[in-house]
Each structure stands twice: as structure tokens, then as C-alpha cells.
Amino acid sequence: MNVLAVRDLHVHLGESHILQGIEFDVREGGVTALLGRNGVGKTTTLRALLGLVDRRGSISLAGEELAATATHRIVRRGVGYVPEDRDVFAGLTVEENLRLAERDAEPRYDLVYDLFPELKERARQPAGTLSGGQQQMVAIARALLNENRVLLVDEPTKGLAPLLVTQVADVLARVAELTTVLLVEQNLGVVQRVAHDAVVLDTGRVVHVGPARELLADRAMVHRMLGVG
């Protein structure tokens, strides 16, 4: 069953036609990877799903149309978001960052502190003074505090040291057991480990949909579509 269905989604930013009618589905459970070269519209797709940029088309969350819905209402319907640049509130403490994200009556602090025990120790530390990896923990923890039908995660390993990349991949694997994840990720090792489906974008269009392992096993296709390998 599909939890998310995107049809004929367009986004214009200034004079540029960034998304040119993309269409794809996200299966319930597990991780669907949204792949493509830099600048093809992956981040814009996540921002469009969330209503952070003006868009046209159809976005269906478990049968419910979201294309005309305001961002805060989309989130309250169960769409979590971990942004590309973490976007933690630097002047707020770790605890305040998490408190701000509370939506559910019983936020899942047990889960969050189980995944990221360091955040409990640093609860009173301003988030702006954390390392990049720690800020990524806060960004993911904010999204995990509440139950989501789908979690949009944008390049969670970007700029992290190899050890932290492995830790983030571990967390994503665990999160995928709890909820559906739509993941934008450049690190194909992480994609190979956690994703079951892959959607590939190129210049604002979907050019491939299929099992992630099949795609990544075909070096010629990876080279042609993603420019690596």
C-alpha cells in the first residue's frame, strides 16, 4: 500500500521550472530513496511536499490531498521533516529545541534518548554550540518525538565524519522499522544499506523508479543517472 502518492508536481522558483510534473509513490514502511545529481530538485521535492515552496499538482497522503494544505497542517497530519542543513535553533537549548517540536500528547522522549543518549546529557546546552553530528541528532530527534506516517529526511549524512555517517545510517535503519521514510541521500552506501525503493530525478523529472538494490547493482545505470561509479 502506498502512503504517499505524488502526481504532476510542479515548482517554479523565480524564472526556473525546478520540478516539471514529477510523479512517484512511496510504499508504506521502510525507506524510499530520492536520488539524483546535485541541483536536480531533490530538496525542492521534499520542500514542496511539505508546502515550504509554492507548488502545483497532487500530493496524496494515505488518500488525503495535501497540495492546498498549509505546512503546519501537513506536519500535524503526520509528515515529519529533517531538513538538509539541520536547521536547529541555535539560540535555544537542546531541550528547548525538542520541546518546541512536541506535537503528540505523549512525546517519545524514551525513544529519542535511547537513540541519542548524548542529547540528554546536553539538554541545557545551546544547540548552536553543538558539533555538526550532534546538531544532526537534534534535527532527527525533533522529528522522532512524534508519531509520523511519513518522515522526510534530507541528506542526513551531509558533512559528517565517516563514523557519524555509520551512526546516522544505524538510526535510519531503526527509524525505518517505526515509520515510512522518504530519504534524500548522496551517500550510496547508506542508501544501499537502508533503502528498498529508489526514485531518481534528473532536471526536474523522474527518470527511474524501482528497487534500490537493483539500481545500485547496475554500475552503468548508476553512472548514467547519478554521475558516480
Return the number of the residue (70 or 161) whose C-beta is nearest another protein: 70
Contact 2, 29 (CB under 8 A): no
The Cα–Cα gap between 85 and 217 comes to 29
Residues facing 208 on adjacent strands: 200
90 binds another protein (CB under 8 A): yes
Residues facing 197 on adjacent strands: 32, 211
52 binds another protein (CB under 8 A): yes
CA torsion angle 128 35 111 88 (round to 10): 10
The Cα–Cα gap between 186 and 163 comes to 16
Q: Site size for another protein, by CB under 8 A? A: 21
CB of 100 to another protein, least distance (A): 5
Interface residue with another protein among 7, 56, 103, 196 (CB under 8 A) is 103
Interface residue with another protein among 40, 50, 184, 190 (CB under 8 A) is 50
The Cα–Cα gap between 217 and 205 comes to 22
Q: In Å, how far are 13, 158, 196, 225 from 209, measured between CA atoms?
A: 25, 24, 11, 12
Interface residue with another protein among 26, 101, 138, 151 (CB under 8 A) is 101
Within 10 A of 93 (CB to CB), how many other CB atoms are there?
A: 17
81 binds another protein (CB under 8 A): yes
Interface residue with another protein among 17, 23, 56, 92 (CB under 8 A) is 92
- Amino acid identity at 137: M
Binding mask 112-151 for another protein (x = CB under 8 A): ------------------------------x---x-----
87 binds another protein (CB under 8 A): yes
Q: Which residues bind another protein (CB under 8 A)?
A: 50, 52, 70-72, 75-76, 81, 83, 87, 89-92, 96, 99-101, 103, 142, 146
